[in-house]
Each structure stands twice: as structure tokens, then as C-alpha cells.
Amino acid sequence: MNIKQMLTEFIEDESGLTAVEYAIAGGLVVGGMIAAFNQLGDNATSKIDCLASAVNGASTDCTQ
């Protein structure tokens, strides 16, 4: 077997690609979930702060 043939077989071999593809896809999903939960957490915190101010008698609009 010559070097050119070995190199061609190596390039055409796709046996390990699926695991790498799943790892990349999983990382993207986890990253998206983290971003969504961070955004949701900030919004929830601001709503709770606004409602707490309203309970304490402040005149605030918590519908935004």
C-alpha cells in the first residue's frame, strides 16, 4: 500500500465524524439553553423587583 492510497483512505474515512457532530450539536444546544435561562432569569428578577416596589407603595408600572 503506497502513501497516496493510505492518505486517500484516511481522508475518505468518516467513521469518527458522527461522535464529533453530536458533540458539537450538543454544545450548541446547551449554549442556547444557558442564554435563554440567563435572559429569563434577568426578566423574572426585574418583574419581582417591580412587584416588590409596588407592594411597598411605590407607583410603578410592572407590565413592561
Of 3-7, 25-29, 58-62, the least confident: 58-62
pLDDT in tens, 14-51: 766 677 788 899 999 999 999 988 888 878 888 888 88
Q: Is the pLDDT of residue 9 over 90?
A: no
pLDDT score, position 52: 84
Please check whether residue 62 is in contact with residue 54, taking contact to mean a CB–CB distance below 8 angstroms.
yes
Among residues 57, 34, 61, which one has the least CA distance to residue 47? 61
Confidence (pLDDT) at 32: 93
